[in-house]
Amino acid sequence: MKIAITGGAGFIGAHLTKAYLDAGHDVLVIDSLLHGSPRAIDPRARFYHLDIRDGKLRTILQQERPDLVSHHAAQHGTPAEQPLADADVHVRGVLNVLDSCVHASVSKVIFASSGNTLYGQLDAEHLPLTEDAPLCPQRPCDITKVAGECYVRYYTQYYGLKHTILRYADVYGETDSTLARHPLSYFIRMLEEQRRPIIRGTGDEVRDHIFIDDVVQANLCALKRGENQTFHISSGRGYTLNRLYWMVADFLESEIEPVYLSNSLVETSSIVLDNIQAQHVLGWRPEINLPEGIRRAVERLAEQGEHPVPLKMQEASMAALAGMATPARA
């Protein structure tokens, strides 16, 4: 199968590129490199340095004629939200991708969406959530993700372009510090440097975390299954930010206490995503629990021997998990 991956130089996209190539597929990567890294691109893939909003995308897809497009390109926000930039990439960009797919006779699109941030403020007794739970996006990035999902379904209805929508929990397991956005990576770096990490708010909000290897397996399953359906790709379990921190600290045998910063803008938000539908239809289930995922994350970051995550990115990651204002997907 020939597969085109938008955002293939990002965290998730780079892992998917390798997995698809290892499985024997022909892969082309399309990425602007604004949020990706050229060193993350597998040299076996053909690379097109292109923004998904560029009109040349149609020409590339018509020339390459991929069977499937895996859409993982995304706009990464900052603590000061950028609604226009989010909409430009997540709406205009998605429309350009979908329109190009139709003209190139692409059979199917896998659309990477948000999961933990689409359902609004929730109480623990309502968890875990299934895919048919009411959507209540709070941030511009999430609003545009929902709009992107709607456009994907529209193109299926009117143009016959098949799709699978994957709503991800918080994906962790970065190996490139420049692409690291999950708080777990931040905790690991700070503790390795014997520094106290910052937690904004109480750290009591519950979140669903999924390891990158499980995300890759879900995408492999979605190549030929789950047509015109939406799935949670999640662990199905929730952990507070405090618990996440102390699990990392225990693994690294550290007794360093985090620094808590109160902020009236931080609202406690808990989320756990039910993944039963993905298990039944895709034949997928998460295999890596959080303790094992932490072990692998620590080892992979150590293998890279990279510089610590920049302070601005650390704070952005923490703000995102605390429910503030930072989209965190690549």
Q: How far apart are CA 206 and CA 244, in angstroms?
A: 10
Beta bridge partners of 207: 239
Structural tokens at position 161: 């372009």
pLDDT value at position 173?
95
Q: Kindly give, in sequence order, each residue whose CB lies less than 8 Å from that of residue 17, ignoring residues fewer than 6 positions away.
A: 5, 8, 27, 29, 41, 42, 45
Cβ 315 vs Cβ 261: under 8 Å: no
Beta bridge partners of 211: 172
pLDDT tier at 318, thresholds 50, 70, 90: very low
pLDDT value at position 305?
65
Cβ 208 vs Cβ 235: under 8 Å: yes
Indicate the domain borders of the chain: 2-169+211-233, 171-209+236-272+288-321
pLDDT in tens, 219-266: 999 999 999 999 999 999 999 999 999 999 999 999 999 999 986 555
Name the nearest CA neighbour of 236 among 167, 319, 154.
Answer: 167
CATH number of 2-169+211-233: 3.40.50.720
Q: Please state the φ and ψ torsions of residue 147, each to the nearest 5 degrees.
A: -60, -40
Cβ 73 vs Cβ 94: under 8 Å: no
Structural tokens at position 144: 């545009």
Q: In whole angstroms, how far apart are CA 259 and each of 15, 99, 163?
A: 33, 48, 44
pLDDT tier at 329, thresholds 50, 70, 90: very low
pLDDT tier at 178, thresholds 50, 70, 90: low
Identify the H or E element spanning 220.
helix 212-222
- The domain over range 171-209+236-272+288-321 is classified in CATH as 3.90.25.10: yes
User: Which has the minimum average pLDDT: 101-115, 192-206, 253-267, 307-321?
Assistant: 307-321
Average of pLDDT values for 280-305? 93
> Strand runs (DSSP E) across 187-255, as ranges?
198-200, 206-211, 229-233, 238-240
Q: What distance lies between CA 280 and its chain's CA centroid?
A: 22
pLDDT in tens, 134-154: 999 988 999 999 999 999 999
Mapped onto helix, strand or coil, the DSSP state of residue 34 is coil
Q: Rg of the chain over CA atoms, in angstroms?
A: 19
